[in-house]
Amino acid sequence: MKKGFGVILLVLFCVMCGVFFWSCGGTNPGSPGSGGSSDTGIEATVTAVTHSQPSGDQGDIWEVDLFMDQCDATTVEKWGNDYAHVTFHGNSLNPNVTSTNELFVTNYTVTFIPTQPGLPPIEQLSYSNQTGIYIQAEQDTGPFNFLIMDTGRKIQLQNDIGFSCSFVTTPSFLQTCTQGGGAYKVSTPLLYNMILQMWGQDNYGNNFTVGPIERVIDISDWNNC
């Protein structure tokens, strides 16, 4: 009888601990959602996002080119890293007082969630100690560049879905691919939910988060010739 009562007490204790820690979540750096504004006095928001690649800015269209192609006898497709261009706005929590504080985005991660079973995993990008990315009260800043997909991850994806590609660097960079093998029996388009989470500190060392920005990206052999 006594032992049963002790078990009930233990269960109650565990439930209360769970509720306590659950209610504490959500404002740590790196956690989803904007946070920290009560400390910094500035609520950071994202006002615009566009996608760019070597062939140019696509606006809010997220077509990621997996393969470099030969356009004609003398030209090759522009191909390489993809970026998000992000514009921020700071809302002052006390609009009657001019805030001289600034928020500095120093860290960010890009995570890829497959939208269907069987897609290869894409390694998360994680960067820290970024400089020059700032958010101020009552104004827009940016756009600032965030690397969201590099050529190394594209080449890994090519291999994962069964393309063996060789590279020539003279007279210019060109890849030639043959198909066969690969650990994942899937074909393009490869659709992933991309999550860009950003965080940093203000002038006084207070932590804040902004985002996440979420977009579905379509990784295929796009024609950018």
Positions in the binding site for Ca ion (CB under 5 A) = 65, 67, 69, 221
- Residue-wise DSSP of 185-198: ---S-EEEEEEEEE
The answer to whether the CB of 186 falls within 8 A of the CB of 158 is no
- Closer to Ca ion at the Cβ: 83 or 199? 83
CB 132: neighbour CB atoms within 10 A?
Answer: 8
Given the complex with Ca ion, which of 69 and 102 has the nearer CB atom? 69
Give the nearest distance from C-beta 225 to Ca ion in angstroms. Answer: 8
Paired sense of beta strands 207-220 and 63-65, if any: parallel
Helix (H) / strand (E) containing 87:
strand 82-92
State the minimum distance, in angstroms, from the CB of residue 221 to Ca ion: 5
Question: Based on CB atoms, which residue is closest to Ca ion, 17 or 61?
Answer: 61
- Output the CA–CA distances (angstroms, integers) from residue 221 to 17, 77, 198, in the order listed: 50, 11, 29
- As measured in angstroms, the least distance from the Cβ of 65 to Ca ion is 4
| Complex with Ca ion: residue 65 or 202, whichever CB lies closer | 65
